[in-house]
Structure 1
Amino acid sequence: MIYILGYIILASCIACLIMCIDKQKAIKQKWRISEKTLWTFAIIGGSLGILVGMSLFRHKTKHRSFQIGIPVLIMLQTALLIVILQNMS
Structure 2
Amino acid sequence: MIYYLIFINIVGLLSMYLDKYFAKNNMYRISEKTLFFIAIIGGSIGSIIGMYQFRHKTKHRQFTTGLPAILFIQIIILIYYK
**1:1-89 paired onto structure 2 within 5 Å:** 3=1, 5-85=2-82
Q: What TM-score do the two structures reach when normalised by structure 2?
A: 0.94
The answer for unaligned runs of 5 or more in structure 2 is none
Letter in 2 for 1:75: F
Amino acid at match of 2:18: I
Q: Counterpart amino acid of 1:35? A: E
In 2, distance between residues paired with 1:11 and 1:84? Answer: 20
- Structure 1 residues 25-64: Cα deviation after superposition (integer angstroms, max 9, x where no partner): 0010111000000011011110111100011100000001
The CA RMSD over aligned residues, in Å, is: 0.9
The sequence identity of aligned pairs, in percent, is 45
Moved over 2 A (4+): none
TM-score (norm 1): 0.87
Q: Which runs of 5+ in 1 are unaligned?
A: none
How many residue pairs get matched? 82
